[in-house]
Structure 1
Amino acid sequence: MAVEEMISHDHSNSKRNVRFIQYISAICAGVLQISQFVNLSWGSPTLPRLLAEDSPIGKPLTYDEISWVLSVIYLGTMVGNTLLMVLLDKVGPKSIMLLGAVLTIISWIFLGLAKSLSVLIIGRVIAGVSDGMSLPCISIYVCEIACKDIRGRLASIPMFIGVFGNLFIFGAGPYLEYTTLIISCAVFPTIFLVSFSFMPNSPYFLIRKGKRRDAERSLMRLLGTKSKSQVEDRLREVEETVERDTGNLTLMQSLLMANFRKSLLIVFVAYNIINFCGLTFLSSYLQVFLATGSISLSKELASVFWGLVQFPAVMLSGLLIDKLGRRPLFCVSSLGAGIALILEGGYIYLQGIVNLESVSFLPVLCLSLYGFFISLGVLPLPYILVGELFATGTKKVGSFVVSCYSSIIIFAHIKVFGSMFDSWGLYSICWLFGGVCFSGILFSLLMLPETKGKSFNEIQSNLSSTTKNTSHSHKGDFEMENVS
């Protein structure tokens, strides 16, 4: 639930303070996002060393063993998702994020001391558990502390900062010794653990736990005021919202609620687009795609280049999301990424048929445009939707379902998707992914609700009204809706 700005005599001063504490909290959450990006990208500079004769674990790994080191983190993520279901209502998103940082530090200790494949796998599983627990909580936490007029901007900050994790791994990773890289990676969760401990907790979680006085103090910090009277109205609103919440719901109970089904469908489709738009595959086979043109880049430079193109896109997304809205941004992002992939596939298809020397720069240009547009809206928005669309009583269930599904899909990507490489051809894969990107246009126009500037109560009310307009015959479901 978003914390709205108080309309008071010192409104301008309060607004400055609101921006300060909420931005600082979002930036701290972004440090954890860096840590999670580092977890996922760590294999890029490390796997060649693990394959070498002088492997840092004492013996070279096989390619099959490498595939397990890469993919097993997503199995750990599903374990983390399950723990999130159990812990979210008990300890809240802030505590789970702190616990996730501790687990990440432990995972780096295992990887740093590993002298066998089994210890490597244990370390990666622990990292996956950390990501599965804390990644959904970033969106939930930021959305619950944010003012509604800057909620989208604040929710984009962790993703923008997280891109630094990829850039660090791709840029510095190849040049750092194995142990030095491990220590450097462990610095990020350590910084988060220290800084985030001082950030305010979600007032909605505190009210659910019966800690009214703590919730009042949290609101005072978030609203930038020392006066209890200035947060009294907001505190009552939080209490009324929590009272309407149905509490700890199971998946089956949540599925009986029309709002939850609609929210789950919307988020599910959004995650399908990001899971099948080709981002994971293109990142893994970046060198192959770049080699189709005449502009050649070293592995290290290509990796840094791939990370850099995401920065301006995520920054622009944060600036525009609360001005243009979610729907236009997702539509433009899908259109641009789709066109880039269609052109990339067309170049590869025509490469052996006609002379393309005059446009040999096209593969690099298309990949740059794809990385830019996919990071503009398709990449960050699904995470924001989890925090915005699910009511408080269904957030953990919705996050669990979506996160587990995504973990399975990405695990399958890494283990088996590469088999399409030889049988289908690069151009077919580009066109397939481009078609998925184009489907994002239809999604944004026909399904995606506009949540710009709306409180969570308004979002749930809009979901209720659209559901009633399209499904009058299911009145029994509407009586069970939780409009929080």
Structure 2
Amino acid sequence: MEGTGMITEVPVRQEGRKLWQYLATISACLMALAVGTALAWTSPVLPQLYKESSWLVITKEQGSWVSSLLALGAILGAVPSGPMADKLGRKKTLLLLAAPFLLSWVIIIFAYKLWLIYLARFIIGAAVGAACVVVPTYISEIAETSTRGSLGAMFQLFITVGILLAFIFGTVMSYTTFAIVCALIEVGFLGSFIFMPESPIWLVNQGQKPEATIAMSVLRGDSYDPSEELAEAQREAEQAALRKSTVFDLVRTPAARKALLASLGGMFFQQLSGINAVIFYTVTIFQASGSSMSPDVASIIVAIVQMITTVIAAMIVDRAGRKPLLIFSSSVMLISLVALGLYFNTKMRGSDVSNLGWLPLTSLTLFMISFSVGMGPIPWMLMGELFPAETKAVASGIAVMLNWFLVFLVTKTFPAMNEGLGADVTFWIFAAIMALGTAFTYFYVPETKGKTSQEIQEELQGNVSKRTNA
């Protein structure tokens, strides 16, 4: 046959239909929407609970525990979620995770004592931690190579939409109605996700080849021939079966160590950029700029900016690549943080800052935009892309644990840092971390754009030149 050799050397990748990949991703991301509402619930609710007229009056210290117990629960929830997703399947695990989400909202609706709110926040935290492992894993396994970036970015997008909805609903609804609406998001997730296919990669790993073929035909369309893609997944599954995967596999080979370093580094710099501190400080920055805008409106505007730029990131990530977007993101965040620090330094020295009112607002907006384009969505994406099937779940669990531990650390220590060191030094510390993050990305994060799982593993092993010269 003429041209066969040519095809072997430069394989032409067939493209499947995208509709069901998008539908399954959107359905799975309704859980990310629930994560966003859970994260932002405290923002409108705590100010209500601080008021003398509230049905339950709490102190600022108690309020900080209501906020941070979610992060502690998430650390705990991330641990068993990987093995659970490997044992039960990605789909069944996600459906089961709806239970703790719903339970926590029911407790919040009927809570009459503070300890019940603590309990609810811890339970929803555990569900959030698990969802942050399993949803990106599911998306990366159902997506074609050509759409994996834009579909992967949807996870972060839906979280930001959830945050925006929580800011809006929390402002216009009562405590109980707000909790009921949050619970209804989970009902919507259950109603849609039950009809979605299981991850074909997981099915192949379980030796369920016929079921994997059916799932693949749903996700790629009837005219797509899944044999090549499934054969590749089968090869990976057979290699994985030769060695029983343990946590030590994450450090056993140079490729595994590179993947773990890049993934954990992404999570480390994402949270130590001070993103939660900046969100925490949004209202103060708006006030410092001399804006007459109410804190509620300010937080809604910031959430809208974040949501729009996350949409842009989803659209460009498969064209621009992960690495350039990360470097751009951390560099602009570095500049924004330096500018914020300079503003507060000038203000603290007693200088007139009335003509610099635009600076904190501009810096904050630039910071949020650049975070949402790279440092926000891409570490979650890399978590789903860098690891082979046999170590993906355990590696994702470790990455998510680190992420939530850092969320807890930053939200708990930021007020003390701000008080002890001053706002200027605090923002400059975050800026220095972003400078390290830019260098780290340049040297240690591999580009995964447009590459199959096998190609990514070969690049991590340093076999790229062998493949291109073949």
1:215 match? 212
CA gap 1:466/1:272 in 2 versus in 1, 3 angstroms: farther
3-state secondary structure, aligned to 1:60: coil
Q: Please tell me whether residue 310 in structure 1 is matched to residue 306 in structure 2.
A: yes
> Alpha-carbon deviation of 1:409?
1.9
| Counterparts of 1:119 and 1:368, CA distance in 2 | 37
Counterpart of 1:236, as a letter, is A
Shift, 1:226, TM fit: 6.1
CA–CA separation in structure 2 for the residues paired with 1:286 and 1:216: 49
Distance in 2 of aligned mates of 1:466 and 1:117: 57
The farther-off stretch of 241-250 and 171-180 is 241-250
Counterpart of 2:48 in structure 1: which amino acid?
A: R
2:96 to 68, 88, 99: 99
Task: Indicate the larger mover: 351-360 or 449-458.
Answer: 351-360
Mapped to 1, the partners of 2:227 and 2:247 lie a distance apart of: 34
Confirm or deny: 8 A CA contact 1:96 1:134 kept in the other structure.
no
Give the TM-score normalised by the residue count of structure 1: 0.89
* Structure 2 equivalent of residue 43 of structure 1: 42
What pairs up with 1:272-421 in 2 under 5 angstroms?
Answer: 272-351=268-347, 352-421=349-418
1:263: which partner in 2?
Answer: 259
1:261 deviates by 1.5
In 1, Cα distance between equivalents of 2:465 and 2:85: 31
Deviation of 1:185 (Å): 0.8
Deviations 1:81-117 (A, max 9, x none): 1221331211122222222222201110011111112
SS in 2 for 1:214: helix
Cα deviation, 1:409-429, whole Å, max 9, x if unaligned, reads 222223333111111111111
1:232: how far off? 2.6
Q: Does the aligned pair in 2 maintain the 1:42–1:169 contact within 8 Å?
A: yes
Letter in structure 1 aligned against 2:49: L
What is the RMSD computed on CA atoms of the aligned residues? 2.1
C-alpha distance in structure 1 between counterparts of 2:159 and 2:307, whole Å: 10
Aligned length: 454
CA distance in 2 between partners of 1:192 and 1:407 (Å)? 23
For the 8 Å contact 2:270–2:376, the answer to whether it is kept is: yes
User: AA paired with 1:20?
Assistant: L
Partner of 1:245: 240
- 1:25 partnered with 2:24: yes
Residue by residue, what CA displacement relative to the aligned partner does 1:365-405 show, whole Å, maximum 9, x if unpaired? Answer: 11111111111100111000110001111112211222222
Shift of 1:295: 2.2
Q: Please give the alpha-carbon distance, in whole angstroms, between the structure 2 residues aligned to 1:226 and 1:191.
A: 31
Q: Rate the CA distance shift 1:233–1:272 in 2: closer, same or farther, 3 A.
A: closer
Percent identical among aligned pairs is 29
Q: CA deviation at 1:326?
A: 0.7
- Opposite residue 420 of structure 1, the aligned amino acid is M
Q: Aligned letter for 1:410?
A: V
User: 2:175 corresponds to which letter in structure 1?
Assistant: Y
> What amino acid is the match of 1:137?
V
Change (3 A) 1:108 1:248: farther
CA contact (8 A) 1:76 1:128 kept: yes
Distance 1:35 1:244 in 2: 36
Deviation of 1:160 (Å): 1.5
Q: 1:61 aligns with which of 45, 49, 58?
A: 58
TM-superposed CA distance for 1:468, in Å, is 12
- Counterpart secondary structure, 2:197: coil
**2: CA distance, partners of 1:193 / 1:325:** 33
Q: CA deviation at 1:248?
A: 4.7
Q: 1:236 aligns with which of 208, 231, 237?
A: 231
CA contact (8 A) 2:139 2:152 kept: yes
Q: Give the Å deviation of 1:174.
A: 1.9
Q: Which amino acid aligns with 2:27?
A: C
Are the equivalent residues in 1 in contact too, given 2:146–2:318 (CA < 8 A)?
A: yes
Following the alignment from structure 1 to structure 2, what is the Cα–Cα distance between the partners of residues 249 and 417? 39
Match of 2:33 in 1: 34
Whichever residue aligns with residue 408 of structure 1, its letter is F
Distance 1:216 1:73, change over 3 A: same
1:407 alignment partner AA: W
8 Å CA contact 1:258, 1:467 repeated in 2: no
Corresponding letter in the other structure for 1:287: V
Greater mean alpha carbon deviation, residues 160-169 or residues 344-353:
344-353
Structure 1 CA distance for aligned equivalents of residues 328 and 143 of structure 2: 25
The offset of 1:327, in angstroms, is: 0.9
Conserved in 2, the CA contact under 8 Å of 1:89 and 1:205? yes
Give per-residue Cα distances to partners, 1:347-374, cap 9 Å, x unaligned: 2212345433333211111111111111
- Partner Cα separation in structure 2 for residue 264 and residue 468 of structure 1: 22
Residues 157 and 307, structure 2, Cα contact 8 Å, conserved in 1: yes
8 Å Cα contact 2:341-2:425 kept in structure 1: yes
Residue aligning to 2:82: 85
Residue ranges of structure 1 left out of the alignment (5+ in a row)? 1-5, 470-484
In structure 2, do the counterparts of structure 1 residues 209 and 99 end up closer, same or farther at CA, with 3 Å as the change threshold?
A: same
Note the residue ranges of structure 2 that are not aligned, 5 or more in a row. Answer: 1-10
Pair 66,467 (structure 1): closer, same or farther in 2 beyond 3 Å: farther
Residues 340, 359 of structure 2: 8 Å contact kept:
yes
Instruction: Judge conservation of contact 1:143–1:155 (CA < 8 Å) in 2.
Output: yes
